[in-house]
Amino acid sequence: MLFKLSLKNIVKSIKDYAIYFFTLVLGVAIFYVFNAIESQTVMMKVSDNTAEIIRLMTNVLSGVSVFVSFVLGFLIIYASRFLIKRRNREFGIYLTLGMGKRKISFILFIETLAIGMISLATGLIVGAGLSQLMSIFVANMFEADMTKFKFVFSLSACIKTLVYFGIIYILVMLFNTIIIGRCKLIDLINGNRKSEKVTMKNPIVCIFVFIISMAFIGYGYYGVMGGYSNLDDQMLFKVIFAGSVGTLFLFWSLSGLILKIVMSVKKVYYKDLNSFVLRQISSKINTTVVQITIICLMLFVTICIFSSALSIKTSMDNNIKELVPVDIQLSKNVNSDFSDNKKIAKDNKISIENTLTNNGFDYKTNFKDIVKFNTYEADKFTIKDTLGDSYKQVAEQYKFLAVDNNEVIMKLSDYNKIAKQYGHTTYELKDDQYMIIANFVNMMEIRNIALRNGEKITINGKDYSPKFNQCKTGFVEISGSVSETGVFILPDKAVENLELHQIWLNANYNASTKEQRQKVENEINKLIEKTWLKTSIMTVNTKNDIEQSCIGLSAMVTFIGLYLGIIFLISSAAILALKELSESTDNRERYVMLRKLGADEKMLNKALFKQIGLFFGFPLFIAIIHSIVGIKFCNTILLSIGRTGLLPSIIMTGAFLVVIYGGYFVITYWCSKNIIK
């Protein structure tokens, strides 16, 4: 009998379970999709290095899944609490009719088990479908061969999902049993009659708290927007703390101020059912200040994570095209003391070409477009020396700058050779001029201070003046990120007597097909595996290695960002939805009273829409304002990677918000409208 009653309750309350069921299905599907990536990539044809990167990424995602399971567990327990509150009167009637609390707990057990099994099955089906789309996304990211693509159901991801959610459902059942055990009959019968009391706060106190909140938030904004040039861990913690406390105070003060302000505008306050809507909103924000603050901060983190994670992939793709213009780059340090190692000392004195030849690699056959160049160092020529009189200004603004590092010098003719190879601008210098090329924005700003002040440098007793008042964009070493902090370009004569620091060789593979390129790449890999490379102080960078490392990093950050962002977004929207549905249940009699006073269904629905819209929109609006500053801060950090291209990622973030957050809003409005009927 109890089993039949449980099933009838599920069918009868299907509208009440809509948000709960939607959240469970979405959570299960997302959990399965991100844990099935490893199985999805099995049928892809990828290199060994790429396969290793994918394995590392899936291991990291498995670790993140543990955190995600805690978030989803809290969310599901919170949702079950709403369902119990929704049915207080029903449980009270059961107790009045003589049913024991154990039997009520058993009913909830059956209902939770049934909903759990249905949601798990549905979520796994949806997840299995979405994972096929994810596999295409992964294949596109890793440039994998999809000729062997087929539908794959990940048994390991399925088992992990069943285990994690099985534990969560067991905890929910225990929680429900505890809640029912503590309930009193009088509270269950009168539960729907209780409502949160509207507390009218002192306007002066609210204004004072509002000013304090603006001060805290302003301090946080100032810190992340460049007010503190050296934002270390301790200062970053202070900024985050100030922003969080400021947001809490902001919601507390606005919950009392908004109602007072709108009440003073009679035309707005007394229009339609605005007075009812505003009092409801004020009451909810007033009693859920901490919840609203957490949701706002979660939305803020979600927006920043989405925007940054998605932009990293774009930046990495651009970097591979712009910062790796040649197939291979080899370099050797020639000014280091290796007297304690005769083999290294001997190899250190010969050219890169001879080193390759001595180890059986025919560079003339395998390479083309060969460009050789050198970099130099000078005595007493450090960053501090090049800043001159500007050092004091730079030291005050950038306190943690390492100023004792030697600067890199290059002949103009050598730089023009690689500039032509890289497709960059070539330059001319007079005998007493110098210039600086770099692409690391933060370091370029430091050097520009000295260049704008016209600081001279001294090489071998001769002074050189800057040709330009700012660094020119360029680089020497190929890399997956903007890492060139500055190279001084001098006339050839100025470099004649300087100490040789490094010798370099750039080249493209002498291959026209993919198979031929792979053959040369294999020869390079064989050389890297040999002992000579470990003992000759030669660095080898290839486009293929840089591409794989960039793709691996961008994929890992993108997937972790998407995983956490979607979960945070679901959690934020679900908590708001459940809170609003709970309010609609409590306020059902108030809507009945409004009908008796003459309000028609259209007016009631409009009032409900405004109420839910404001409740969903308020934390999102504040989160978006925070995100404008947060994204700017993230953009500053991401400049070390390269061009960020934030606009497409912001548009994608907006799409996620509309689909998930907007979806919860629509479902909440639909369910609430059914409740008040």
In three-state secondary structure terms, 490 is strand
**DSSP string of 139-200, one letter each residue:** HHHHT-B-TT------HHHHHHHHHHHHHHHHHHHHHHHHHHHH--HHHHHHGGG-------
**Residue whose token pair is 């029912």:** 180
Average pLDDT, 10 consecutive residues per value, the chain (677 residues): 60 65 83 78 56 72 80 76 67 69 73 78 86 72 59 81 84 75 61 52 80 89 65 71 88 75 67 72 73 87 82 73 87 66 60 81 87 88 84 74 82 93 92 91 86 88 90 88 85 87 90 82 76 63 81 76 84 83 74 75 81 86 88 70 66 85 86 77
Strands 499-509 and 457-459: unpaired
Token output for 428: 């001319």
In three-state secondary structure terms, 52 is helix
Rounded Cα distance between 388 and 367, Å, is 43
CA atoms within 13 A on the CB side of 76: 30
CA angle at residue 482 from 476 to 488, to 5 degrees? 40
Q: What is the 3-state secondary structure (H, E, C) of 327-358?
A: CEEEEEECCCCCCCCHHHHHHHCCCHHHHHHH
Contact between 285 and 259 (Cβ < 8 Å): no
Rounded Cα distance between 437 and 428, Å, is 13
> What percentage of the chain's residues is helix, strand, coil (to nearest 5)?
70, 10, 20
- pLDDT, residue 465, reads 92
Residues 6+ apart with CB under 8 A from 160: 35, 65
Token output for 624: 């978006």
- pLDDT, residue 228, reads 46
- The H or E element spanning position 672 is helix 662-676
Rounded Cα distance between 519 and 36, Å, is 33
In three-state secondary structure terms, 509 is strand
Contact between 329 and 478 (Cβ < 8 Å): yes
- pLDDT, residue 382, reads 85
Beta strands in 347-446 (DSSP E): 367-377, 408-411, 433-438
Token output for 260: 């007072």
Q: How much is the pTM? A: 0.73
Contact between 510 and 356 (Cβ < 8 Å): no
CA atoms within 13 A on the CB side of 506: 20
CA angle at residue 448 from 442 to 453, to 5 degrees? 150
Token output for 592: 């009945």
Conformational region of residue 28, where left means phi above 0, alpha means psi within -120 to 50, and beta covers everything else: alpha
- pLDDT, residue 610, reads 82
Rounded Cα distance between 28 and 168, Å, is 12
460: how many CB neighbours lie within 10 A of its CB?
A: 12
Rounded Cα distance between 629 and 225, Å, is 7
Strands 499-509 and 538-542: unpaired
Residue 133's Cβ-count burial label (10 Å; 0-12, 13-18, 19+) is exposed
Helix count and strand count (H, E) for the chain:
27, 10
Rounded Cα distance between 124 and 626, Å, is 36
401 — phi, psi (to 5°)? Answer: -75, 130
Residues 6+ apart with CB under 8 A from 199: 286
Contact between 115 and 17 (Cβ < 8 Å): yes
